């Protein structure tokens, strides 16, 4: 595997972060600031750099390389697979007939892939309209839980206004891009970790619909949440990113962390990043910088256990909530990953509105929040 990385900001031209080498038919991942990706020249610019490339765009809440974590840039990671190959499929939740059904969107998207030789699927999904829980369930149904799927919901800094993605066209709203990796020589492993700690009493979800939480213990959910936040409730909905919910439903083996994306003062409800079932048990969570950094190191170590050699590529997807906690120390969690996987591994990725991966030791993917999700790839 060969890789080339570049970066640009609004005030700079493309800067090589790696050696400028020639690549054949590369997969070109373009992650970055939503405003910069909306520039109508962006597609022509990346095509000029990699004439025979296949281009996948995704907006981020910060793009990741071994040198930088940056909110105000666009990063290109171009990958030439020397012993394997890839296919790319797309769907759009705003234009497809199944736009109101995220389960069918996910299932139909993955069903487009030929199954022979398929090793892994990496998904770059819009993060504004999709129900990520239903999307992952649909994708699992398509592969019968026997193909590893990881990925990200795109971000838009802490604005939560609009997310965009695309394949070989200008980035747009509603787009979901899936990259299928093929070949016997491929070795793909993953891990996730959070580092968040529950606190306060456990509550029962007594009224919810899809990803909207209305009542906890028969009381308005938003009122209870504000009570626990105290003075910080004045900073909602932004403050909610620092205090997600631990959710344990009766039909799941493990707890999932759910970020609160928005609030509705009229009906005292909260909009979560994924489904929350009635009769689930929830608890507030919090963390600190050291816990987040340690969790990223552990995720890298767990993923590396399944690699026979130093991986060629590490795709990091970390949640915007973690980034807000880390603040000026945001690069520390990336540095811990590099320390584990090796300095010769190409690091790329993004801060997201949701992470897609199975739990460790499982095969079916889930939507996660507030985790560091690491996908390691080698040939």
Q: For residues 63 and 70, is the Cβ–Cβ distance under 8 A?
A: yes
pLDDT confidence bin for 228, thresholds 50/70/90: confident
Question: Which one, of 39, 82, 84, lies nearest residue 57 by Cα?
Answer: 39
> Where are the chain's structural domains?
2-192+290-378, 197-285
pLDDT tens-digit readout, 60-97:
999 999 999 999 999 999 999 999 999 999 999 887 55
pLDDT at 345: 97
Maximum Cα–Cα distance for the chain, whole Å? Answer: 62
Closest CA to 270 of 364, 176, 174, 203: 203
pLDDT of residue 129: 84
Q: Check: CB of residue 282 under 8 Å from CB of residue 244.
A: no
User: pLDDT higher for 249 or 6?
Assistant: 6
* 301 Cα distance to chain centroid: 19
pTM: 0.94
Fold that domain 197-285 belongs to in CATH: Thrombin, subunit H (2.40.10)
DSSP code of 277? -
Query: Residue 354 corresponds to which tokens in the numbers above?
Result: 């949701």
Other Cβ atoms closer than 10 A to 120? 22
Terminus-to-terminus CA distance in the chain, angstroms?
6
Task: Report which of 328, 336, 230 is spatially closest to residue 286, judged by C-alpha positions.
Answer: 230
Q: What is the pLDDT of residue 240?
A: 86
Whole-number average pLDDT of the chain: 93
Cα of 176 vs its chain's centroid, Å: 12
Give the residue carrying structure tokens 């909207």: 212
pLDDT band with cut points at 50, 70 and 90 for residue 100: low
Confidence of residue 254 (pLDDT cuts 50, 70, 90): confident
């Amino acid at each position: 595997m060969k890789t080339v990385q570049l970066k640009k900001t609004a005030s700079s031209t493309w800067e090589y972060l790696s050696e400028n080498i020639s690549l054949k038919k590369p997969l070109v991942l373009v992650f970055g600031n939503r405003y910069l990706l909306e520039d109508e020249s962006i597609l022509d610019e990346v095509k000029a750099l990699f004439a025979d490339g296949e281009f996948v765009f995704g907006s981020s809440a910060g793009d990741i390389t071994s040198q930088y974590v940056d909110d105000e840039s666009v990063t290109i990671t171009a990958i030439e697979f020397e012993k394997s190959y890839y296919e790319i499929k797309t769907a759009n939740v705003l234009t497809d007939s199944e736009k109101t059904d995220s389960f069918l969107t996910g299932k139909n998207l993955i069903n487009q892939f030929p199954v022979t030789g398929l090793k892994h699927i990496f998904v770059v999904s819009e993060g504004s309209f999709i129900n990520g829980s239903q999307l992952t369930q649909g994708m699992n149904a398509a592969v019968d839980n026997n193909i590893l799927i990881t990925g990200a919901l795109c971000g838009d800094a802490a604005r939560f206004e609009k997310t965009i993605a695309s394949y070989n066209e200008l980035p747009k709203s509603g787009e979901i891009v899936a990259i299928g990796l093929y070949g016997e020589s491929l070795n793909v492993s993953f891990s996730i970790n959070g580092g968040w700690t529950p606190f306060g009493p456990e509550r029962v979800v007594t009224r919810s619909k899809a990803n909207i939480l209305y009542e906890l213990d028969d009381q308005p959910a938003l009122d209870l949440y504000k009570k626990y936040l105290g003075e910080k409730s004045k900073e909602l909905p932004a403050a909610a990113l620092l205090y997600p919910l631990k959710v344990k439903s009766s039909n799941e083996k493990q707890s999932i962390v759910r970020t609160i994306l928005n609030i509705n003062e009229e009906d005292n409800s909260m909009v979560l990043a994924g489904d929350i079932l009635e009769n689930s048990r929830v608890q507030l969570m919090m963390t600190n910088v050291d816990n987040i950094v340690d969790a990223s190191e552990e995720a890298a170590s767990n993923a590396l256990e399944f690699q026979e050699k130093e991986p060629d590529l590490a795709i990091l997807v970390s949640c915007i909530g973690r980034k807000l906690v880390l603040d000026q120390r945001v690069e520390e969690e990336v540095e811990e990953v590099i320390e584990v996987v090796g300095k010769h591994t190409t690091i790329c990725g993004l801060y997201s509105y949701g992470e897609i991966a199975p739990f460790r030791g499982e095969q079916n993917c889930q939507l996660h929040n507030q985790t560091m999700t690491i996908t390691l790839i080698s040939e």
